[in-house]
Structure 1
Amino acid sequence: MTEPRPLPRRSLRTRLALFYAAGIYVAGIVVLAVITVPLVGIQSTATGPARGSAPGVITGTGHGIGPHQLLVGSAIALVVLIPVALTGGWFVADRFLRPLRTITTTAKAISAGNLQQRLDLGEPADELTELGGVLDDLFARLHASFDAQRHFVANASHELRTPLAGLRTLLEVTLADPDADAVTLRSACEEALALGAHQERLVQALLALATSERGVTRFDTVDLAHIVEGVLAGRRDQAAERGIDLVEHLAPAVTAGDPRLVESLVANLIDNALRHNHPDGHVEITTQTSGARATLTISNSGPVIPGDQIQRLFHPFQRLAPERGSRRDGYGLGLAIVHAVARAHHATLTTTAPPEGGLAVTVRFAHPWQSAETETARIASLTREGAGRRTRPR
């Protein structure tokens, strides 16, 4: 059995025109009925002088408009009303859909690659203008996101290409040496393993950044003090080797979030404080509950950081001058991961650079119930928006 062919879909303009025309036609029928029905049965009267009567006195009556004449006149009026209603409906539909056509045309141009273009509907301020403003904001965020993605990919490619080129050069030089012995080959293998470990750490940092930017998928109750203790357990030896003094003020600070992401934030802050520090410097770590927020503060000694360069450190692959730290084993991703995790948890990130040098970073998380309420409200808002888009008449 062959399936029936689907009926051709009418355009929105056609459907609106028919809807408006039907409304005009029904209104015309109602008006015509209101006017003509009382005329049925009304008898005409004639006035004039009659023999033996005063002027202006009614002298007789005549027949009114008959049903036949009313029927014919009404039919003619209804026939004439059809093209009038269709024309009016088509005009009204065209007038109201004009901004929507502008939105569609511009959106097609923007989706083709011209992300700098905007709708800019202007006046009058109505629902379609509001939709245009929302779409303009969306296009602006997409433009910024695509630019950041291109910038990130370019920097990531550069960061990965450097160790790969070094590894290839090392292997080529070693293989080209005709006098290479076992000791030389072993040394080359050790350097290759070191370069491979460098690339592995870089890829892990890139994955951590991508995971942080994806957002929080689970909210568990976590204690910042407990997480800091766990992170410090694996870094005390490193601090002791460099002579860096660790000062801890760990009070319970309970919040809600993804434990792995919060641990990544703490680990990157501590690693950044240890890496960009002076020998015999210090790192001070404080966790506490302040008001309605759980607070983590990590401050360290180190080189002086210009105030106008602080925000740049939270972008991927951004480093200051080489003299900022005595070691170059970082990738410029640590603070970028911290910023992404804080933003995903709706936490407040505050950074200051003391005049004597170093950096102080404070992260303020909300209490568990506030974090859950914020995420629930966000999901509910997205759900309502999605439901509104699904149920909005076309």
Structure 2
Amino acid sequence: MATTLRTRIRVRAQACLSGPGAARVRALVRLLTPRRVRVRFAMLFGLLFIASGAVLLGITYLLVNRPTHNVVTAVHEEGVPGSGSAPGTVIRPGPGSGSPQDLTVWLNDQLRRQTEHLHDAQMHELLVQSGTALAIMAAISIVLSWLLARRVLRPMRTLNAGIARISASNVHERLAVAGPRDEISELADSIDGLLARLEAALESHKRFVANAAHELRTPLTVERALLEESLLDRDATAASFRENFERLLRISTHQGALLESLLTLAVSERGVERTEPVDLAEINESVLLTQLPETLRHGVRIEYRTEPTPVAGDTALLERLVANLVHNAAYYNVPDGSVDITVRRHDRRAVLTVSNTGPEVPSDRVDQLFEPFQRMYRTAGDGHHGLGLSIVRAIAAAHDATLTARARPGGGLVVEVSFPLLVKAGERYEGWSQPRAATASK
């Protein structure tokens, strides 16, 4: 019964608040609420001062208005104040002033009335003067609050003007607010950091678009040339047509692989939408089974060591990460070279390390290899677009993984990807599994 009553009350309250009258009230409140922060600050400070002043005056009024024991009384000649009489001023009527008892009563009544009248007048005067002082100080406080709000918000106006001045053409500019280390300077530094990251992202986007356009323009130009050759050559035979079509098919396959890589890179940079528990060791073994023909073709030896390393991530993207690392290590290698792969646990992290023998890699070019369309050696028609390691970096970032790379002494590259490890409560460290090796001869 009580629940039903509460439900009815809540429904009626919601109906009242959602009715046309409530909408008009909300619109009136929005209309009366000042939109300028400076005005709101001035009103807030003024109201706080008025409220605190009113409370202070009220407390003072109550303390002054409390009953007092200092009274004036009159007693007749024979009366002697005893221990029960109230302290104060005592008036003793002299002889010949009428009936002592009646005169004493009359004097006490007149004195009481006069005292009450004087007290009421004093309290009224105190109230009027306090109200006047409060009104004067309220006006002064509002003016001071207005000036104070202007002074406090001046750095914000400077920040606003600086941010409004920055656009895509001058994103390199910074606010560089000088002054003491306070909330305003911290906000300015955060905005400068955001602008720096935005500038880096814009520059990376420009380079990516330019490189992608260059990579796509070349095969399109070749396709157009082959088609024009087939149309303009009047002596073309079926064999020449077939040769041109085969070349067009290879170019189309190359473009499809490039577009697929671009799409994977875009999806990786967008982030992981769905994660699931994945064993990085199992993914590594699955990729090695599919990559074995490729390693056989390049004549490299693969050695790997794994242990159970559960992580949270997207299975397809993690497989692409491992496949790109293995393919890159096998392709950019030397005859009779090797690829060493380890999957291990370290400091509650799942660490995947892929190292290979290969040509010398300058230390200053290691980070550049992870940019889109960057390759150590460009070979026309090799089917590589320079997107493999950039896709690895994007997938690692999407999984909150740490990616590090360094040049290997004697040639080659060492790439290490560290993922957050999924460890169940009470799980024990199991150590290394037995090393396994897959050897391929030329």
TM class, shorter-chain normalised? 0.7 to 0.9
Residue identity in the other structure for 2:232? A
Does the CA-based 8 Å contact 1:275-1:327 persist in structure 2? no
Query: Relative to 1, partners in 2 of residues 1:348 and 1:89: Cα closer, same or farther, differing over 3 Å?
Result: closer
More displaced, 276-285 or 156-165? 276-285
Equivalent of residue 143 in structure 2, options 72, 84, 87: 87
Match in the other structure for 1:353: 407
Partner-residue secondary structure (3-state), 1:200: helix
Find the counterpart in structure 2 of residue 217 from structure 1: 273
CA distance 1:31–1:224, change in 2 (3 Å)? closer
Cα distance, 1:4–1:34 mapped onto 2, change above 3 Å: closer
Report sequence identity in percent: 41
Task: Determine the structure 1 residue equivalent to 2:194.
Answer: 138
Q: Distance in 2 between matches of 1:247 and 1:112?
A: 49
SS at match of 1:302: coil
Query: What are the Cα deviations for residues 16-44 of structure 1, in whole angstroms up to 9, with x where unaligned?
Result: 2111112223344455556677778999x
DSSP-derived class of the 2:281 partner: helix
Q: Secondary structure at the match of 1:235?
A: helix
Contact 2:373 2:385 (8 Å CA) reproduced: yes
One-letter identity of the residue aligned with 2:227: L
Could you say which residue in structure 2 is the equivalent of 1:98? 154
Q: Which amino acid aligns with 1:247?
A: E
2:418 matched residue in structure 1: 364
**Structure 1 CA distance for aligned equivalents of residues 260 and 391 of structure 2:** 11
Equivalent in 211, 228, 234 of residue 172 of structure 1 = 228
Match of 2:386 in 1: 332
State the Cα deviation string for residues 154-198 of structure 1 (Å, max 9, x = none): 111111111111111121122111111222122111111111111
Aligned to 1:13: 38
> Is the contact made by 2:49 and 2:138 (CA closer than 8 Å) also made in structure 1?
no
Give the Cα separation in 2 of the matches to 1:78 and 1:227: 77
User: What is the match of residue 296 of structure 1?
Assistant: 352
Give the TM-score normalised by the residue count of structure 2.
0.70
Cα distance in 1 for partners of 2:128, 2:400 equals 74
CA displacement, residues 57-77 of structure 1 (integer Å, 9 cap, x when unaligned):
xxxxx9797456545534543
> How many Å separate the matches in 2 of 1:112 and 1:339?
26
Q: CA deviation at 1:94?
A: 1.7
- Match of residue 47 from structure 2: 22
Q: What is the DSSP-based 3-state SS (H/G/I as helix, E as strand, rest coil) of the residue aligned with 2:352?
A: strand
SS of equivalent to 1:368: coil
SS in 1 for 2:170: coil
CA contact (8 A) 2:351 2:417 kept: yes
Give the distance between the partners of 2:334 and 2:348, measured in 1 at CA: 35
Q: Which moved more, 1:343-352 or 1:111-120?
A: 111-120
Tell me if the contact between 2:57 and 2:130 (Cα under 8 Å) persists in the aligned partners.
Answer: yes
Q: CA deviation at 1:331?
A: 0.8
Change (3 A) 1:367 1:80: closer
From 145, 151, 154, the counterpart of 2:207: 151
> Quick one: distance in 1 between partners of 2:355 and 2:167?
45
Distance change >3 Å, CA 204–CA 84, structure 1 → 2? same
CA contact (8 A) 1:276 1:326 kept: no
Retained in 2: the 8 A contact 1:254–1:289?
A: no
Q: Note the C-alpha offset of 1:326.
A: 10
Q: Is the 8 A contact 2:310 2:423 kept in 1?
A: no
For residues 327 and 289 of structure 1, the distance between their equivalents in structure 2, rounded to whole angstroms, comes to: 40
**Does the Cα contact within 8 Å between 2:361 and 2:412 map onto a contact in 1?**
yes
Q: Conserved in 1, the CA contact under 8 Å of 2:369 and 2:375?
A: yes
Question: CA shift at 1:268, angstroms?
Answer: 0.5
Runs of 5+ consecutive residues of structure 1 not aligned to the other structure: 44-61, 371-394
Question: Could you say what secondary structure the match of 1:156 adopts?
Answer: helix
Q: Name structure 2 gaps, 5 residues minimum.
A: 1-19, 71-114, 425-442
Match of 1:151, as an amino acid? R
Counterpart of 1:255, as a letter, is V
Q: Distance in 2 between matches of 1:132 and 1:187?
A: 63
1:342 — aligned with what? 396
| Residue 197 (structure 1) aligns with | 253
Name the SS for the 2:172 alignment partner: coil
Of the three residues 252, 263, 288, the one matched with 2:319 is 263
SS at match of 1:234: helix
Residue 358 of structure 2 contacts residue 413 of structure 2 at CA under 8 Å; is this kept in 1? Answer: yes
Secondary structure at 1:230 match in 2: helix
Q: Secondary structure at the match of 2:186?
A: helix
SS of the residue corresponding to residue 303 of structure 2 reads strand
1:345-373 per-position Cα deviation (integer Å, ceiling 9, x unaligned): 23333323334322232323332149xxx
How many residues matched? 353
**1:286 equivalenced with 2:342 (yes/no):** yes
Provide closer, same or farther for how the CA distance between residues 87 and 238 of structure 1 changes in structure 2, counting only shifts above 3 A.
same
Please say which structure displays the higher CA radius of gyration.
Answer: 2
Q: Which amino acid aligns with 1:338?
A: V
Q: Is the deviation greater in 280-289 or in 134-143?
A: 280-289
Shift of residue 246, structure 1, vs aligned partner = 3.1
Which of 117, 125, 131 aligns to 2:173? It is 117
Supply the AA of the counterpart residue of 1:205: S
Contact 1:239 1:274 in 2 (8 A): yes
Q: CA deviation at 1:317?
A: 1.1
